[in-house]
């Protein structure tokens, strides 16, 4: 009987729970889609699992099993079963060979989580980690979510995080960031760079001299949406909008120019619903008041934003393509889809000339209720 090509340094996926259902039935893993039941005539054969730590060749694993009185055919059958189930992989597929020292130890859990993910990522954990390490992400704008997002990206293995954050550190910035009370009042960009050096010292934080930034996390907007969208479109720069509106974090859309909807599309849709929107948007752009947002909600929103950036880097499909997700509280999300606006040319279509909007909003059309104040 032919056997598969030997694996270089076979490794059992880390973190698999081992549970004996009876003397001859071992369950590996708990998650649906990953858990496997092994029927073993000789329970001693399962000692082979402890040998699959990535330090031995396949031949050495089988030879060592023989010294534990495990028959060669039993050891081979168990190894082939584990391999067919996707529970044994080459050691080099978990982490890049050139990742060493503290950085390797820090990212081991991230690689293990990728290996156990259901469905599996489109690449091996080592390939995903290598891609993240080579990525450049810019976090720009103001607001209490920027520091948390920047630190989360670095902890997930992004090799270059540029915190281009406006304003001083405020108490709300301390949640989940590694910033301390002593940082309050310091420039956000400087304080966050220091925090990144502490928690992920191998992460670059200086502006890159050359090379493309893979994605920009845009925190709110301090300029007209049309101008902001045009700048990103001209550079073909992917970007993710993260905002805090009325105390509710909003993540998305993630825009991949030249495909919309873009930030200008959102603005045009809002004008369709509320002709006064440009006046309101101009006021919001210069309103730097700190918004109340529960710490748990802020952490949930930052984690979701980091996950969307990683989905983009890892070759997956971010959920915020063409939509925005409101994080109403921790664990509660509201998805709002957006379509390219016919008056915007972001998707390569000829824009339709707009005419002045003749309507005023009332409460039934989704806007605020009109109230006349008595004199």
pLDDT at site 346:
86
3-state secondary structure 281-319: HHHHHCCCCCCCCCHHHHHHHHHHHHHHHHHHHHCCCCC
pLDDT at site 87:
92
pLDDT in tens, 217-265: 999 887 888 888 999 999 999 999 999 988 899 999 999 998 889 999 9
CATH topology for 10-91 is Outer Surface Protein A; domain 3 (3.90.930)
Percent of the chain with pLDDT over 70: 91
State which of 3-7, 112-116, 212-216 shows the largest mean pLDDT: 212-216
pLDDT at site 351:
54
Q: Which CATH architecture has domain 135-356?
A: 3-Layer(aba) Sandwich (3.40)
Would you say residue 208 has pLDDT above 90? no
Assess whether the previous peptide bond of 247 is cis (omega < 30° from 0).
Answer: no
Q: What average pLDDT score do residues 179-206 get? A: 96
Question: With contact defined as beta carbons under 8 Å apart, do 351 and 265 qualify?
Answer: no
pLDDT at site 375:
39
Edge-first strand order for the sheet with 25-28 is 18-22, 25-28, 36-39
Of the pLDDT bands very low, low, confident and very high (cuts 50, 70, 90), residue 345 is confident
Would you say residue 360 has pLDDT above 50? no
pLDDT in tens, 92-107: 999 999 999 999 999 9
Tally of residues, the chain: 375
pLDDT, mean over the chain: 88
Alpha helices, H only, the chain: 58-67, 72-84, 101-116, 125-134, 146-155, 188-199, 225-235, 263-273, 277-285, 295-314
Would you say residue 183 has pLDDT above 60? yes
Q: What average pLDDT score do residues 340-350 get? A: 81
Which SS3 state, helix, strand or coil, does residue 12 take?
A: strand
Question: With contact defined as beta carbons under 8 Å apart, do 334 and 325 qualify?
Answer: yes
Q: Where are the domains of the chain?
A: 10-91, 94-127, 135-356
């Amino acid at each position: 009987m032919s056997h598969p090509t030997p694996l270089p340094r076979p490794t059992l996926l880390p973190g698999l729970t081992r549970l004996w259902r009876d003397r001859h039935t071992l369950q590996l893993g708990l998650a649906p889609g990953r858990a496997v039941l092994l029927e073993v005539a000789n329970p001693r054969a399962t000692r082979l699992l402890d040998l699959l730590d990535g330090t031995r060749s396949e031949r050495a694993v089988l030879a060592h099993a023989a010294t534990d009185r495990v028959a060669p055919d039993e050891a081979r059958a168990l190894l082939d079963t584990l391999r067919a189930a996707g529970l044994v992989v080459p050691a080099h597929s978990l982490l890049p060979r050139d990742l060493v020292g503290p950085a390797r130890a820090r990212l081991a859990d991230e690689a293990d989580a990728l290996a156990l993910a259901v469905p599996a990522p489109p690449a091996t954990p080592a390939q995903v980690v290598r891609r993240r390490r080579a990525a450049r992400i810019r976090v720009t704008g103001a607001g209490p979510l920027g520091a948390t997002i920047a630190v989360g990206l670095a902890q997930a293995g992004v090799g270059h995080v540029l915190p281009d954050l406006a304003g001083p550190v405020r108490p709300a910035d301390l949640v989940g960031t590694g910033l301390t009370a002593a940082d309050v009042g310091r420039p956000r960009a400087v304080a966050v760079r220091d925090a990144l050096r502490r928690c992920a010292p191998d992460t670059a934080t200086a502006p890159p001299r050359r090379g493309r930034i893979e994605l920009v996390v845009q925190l709110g907007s301090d300029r007209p949406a049309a101008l902001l969208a045009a700048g990103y479109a001209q550079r073909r720069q992917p970007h993710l909008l993260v905002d805090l509106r009325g105390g509710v974090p909003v993540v998305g859309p993630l825009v991949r120019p030249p495909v919309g909807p873009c930030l200008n599309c959102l603005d045009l849709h809002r004008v369709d619903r509320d002709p006064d929107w440009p006046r309101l948007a101009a006021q919001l752009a210069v309103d730097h008041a700190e918004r109340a947002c529960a710490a748990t909600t802020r952490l949930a929103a930052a984690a979701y934003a980091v996950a969307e950036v990683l989905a983009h880097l890892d070759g997956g499909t971010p959920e915020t393509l063409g939509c925005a997700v409101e994080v109403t509280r921790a664990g509660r999300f509201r998805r709002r889809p957006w379509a390219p606006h016919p008056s915007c040319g972001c998707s390569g279509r000829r824009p339709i000339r707009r005419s002045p909007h003749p309507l005023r909003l009332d409460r039934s059309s989704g806007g605020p209720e009109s109230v006349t104040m008595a004199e």
